[in-house]
Every structure is written in structure tokens, then in C-alpha cells.
């Protein structure tokens, strides 16, 4: 069992979720049950899966949940790209969010590699 609150990647994933919520708050209200909902859920899923996996009994289980977090990162990049192409997110806002997502994604991958070595 790992203490997720001590993991930088978990803290960065929380910041990512906050940033995505702030970004999607600027989207048209007509997207409330579409792209806004999907992006917010994917963003929350990253940190949630890190936390849930850390509470599991083995590194193998933790790694499984980190893979879920990784998938949520790639899902979020896809959704962000769609939002930008539809004009819901400014290029600057989308780029800043994309950089945060990529950073968290790299950290998740690094943690997977570290856990595999233990």
C-alpha cells in the first residue's frame, strides 16, 4: 500500500482536474452534458485512479490502476483537441492544458516503470 498523498503525480493530477474544470467552465452551455462532462470526468479519473491504485495491496494492482490513469490522460488529450478545433478552447488555453496532461502522463509512466522494478 502506498500513500498517494505523498506522490507528486497525484498532486499534479489534482491540479490538472482543477484546470480542466476551469477551462470547461468557459465552454458553451450546450456542451454541459457532452464535451464538458466527458472532459471533467476524464480529468477527475486520472487522480482518482492513482489514489485507488495506491490503496491496493500489490504493486501489480497499483500498476493496473496507473494504466487506467494513463488512458484517461490520452482520452483527455483527444477531447481537448476536439474542443480546440470546435473553438471552445483558445489555442493558448488548450496548449497549457495539453502540457499539464503530458506532464502528468509522463509521471504516471515513470511511476509504472519504477513499480515494475520493485
- For the chain, list the domains and their CATH numbers: 4-117 (1.20.1440.60)
Residue 3 has what pLDDT? 93
Cite the beta strand spans of 1-118 per DSSP E: none
Tell if the pTM clears 0.85, that is, is over it. yes
Mean pLDDT of the chain: 96
User: pLDDT class for 32, splitting at 50, 70, 90?
Assistant: very high
Whether residue 66 has pLDDT greater than 80: yes
Whether residue 118 has pLDDT greater than 90: no
CA atoms within 13 A on the CB side of 10: 16
The three three-digit cell numbers of residue 1, written as one number:
500500500
Amino acid at each position: 500500500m502506498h500513500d498517494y498523498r505523498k506522490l507528486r503525480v497525484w498532486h499534479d493530477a489534482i491540479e490538472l482536474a482543477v484546470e480542466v474544470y476551469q477551462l470547461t467552465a468557459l465552454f458553451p452551455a450546450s456542451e454541459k452534458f457532452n464535451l464538458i462532462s466527458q472532459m471533467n470526468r476524464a480529468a477527475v479519473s486520472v487522480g482518482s485512479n492513482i489514489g485507488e491504485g495506491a490503496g491496493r495491496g500489490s504493486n501489480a494492482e497499483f500498476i493496473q490502476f496507473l494504466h487506467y490513469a494513463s488512458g484517461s490522460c490520452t482520452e483527455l488529450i483527444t477531447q481537448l483537441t476536439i474542443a480546440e478545433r470546435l473553438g471552445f478552447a483558445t489555442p493558448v488555453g488548450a496548449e497549457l492544458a495539453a502540457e499539464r496532461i503530458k506532464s502528468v502522463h509522463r509521471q504516471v509512466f515513470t511511476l509504472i516503470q519504477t513499480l515494475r522494478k520493485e
